[in-house]
Amino acid sequence: MNDGDLYRDDPDFADVECPDCGTTDVTVASLFGSTTSEVLFQCDRCRSCFNWVKWRHRLPPVPAENR
């Protein structure tokens, strides 16, 4: 199992588009890309690789609110 399989249905990445061909058929190649703040993707259609900035101000569940 590689990162692509692990994160294939991850809702955080549902809208990520290939900057070259525009498809959303993209696969996570590495959860941490060329910098810590990026995810490395590969396009399933045109095969180009691209980095995607990950910060969307999302936080893990706040424990005290979910107990």
Partner 1 sequence: MSTPVATAEPAARTALQNDLLCVADTKLVLGNWFAECVMNGKSLPDFAAMLGMCTASYGQTRAIYHWLDTLDHSYGHLEHGRGRAEIRSMDLLDPAPENWQDFIVSTWLAEQATWSMASGFLRNPDRTVAGIARKIGEEAYFHLKYAAGWFRIIEASDEEGELLRASVTRRFPLALRWFGPLDAADDLHAAGLRDDPLPDIRAGFVGEVRSALKPFGVDATGVEATFEADWRPDARRTGPLPERLFEVIRFKDQEIAR
State yes or no: residue 14 binds partner 1 (CB under 8 A). Answer: no
CA distance 32 to 38: 6
Quote the least distance from Cβ 49 to partner 1, whole Å.
Answer: 13
Residue number with CB closer to partner 1 (21 or 51) = 51
Contacts of 39 (CB under 8 A, 6+ apart): 13, 28, 30, 31, 32, 33, 51, 52, 54
- Choose, by CB under 8 A, the member of 11, 14, 15, 64 that binds partner 1: 64
User: Which spans of this chain sit near partner 1 (rule: CB under 8 A)?
Assistant: 1-3, 6-7, 10, 12, 29-33, 35-36, 40, 54-55, 57-67
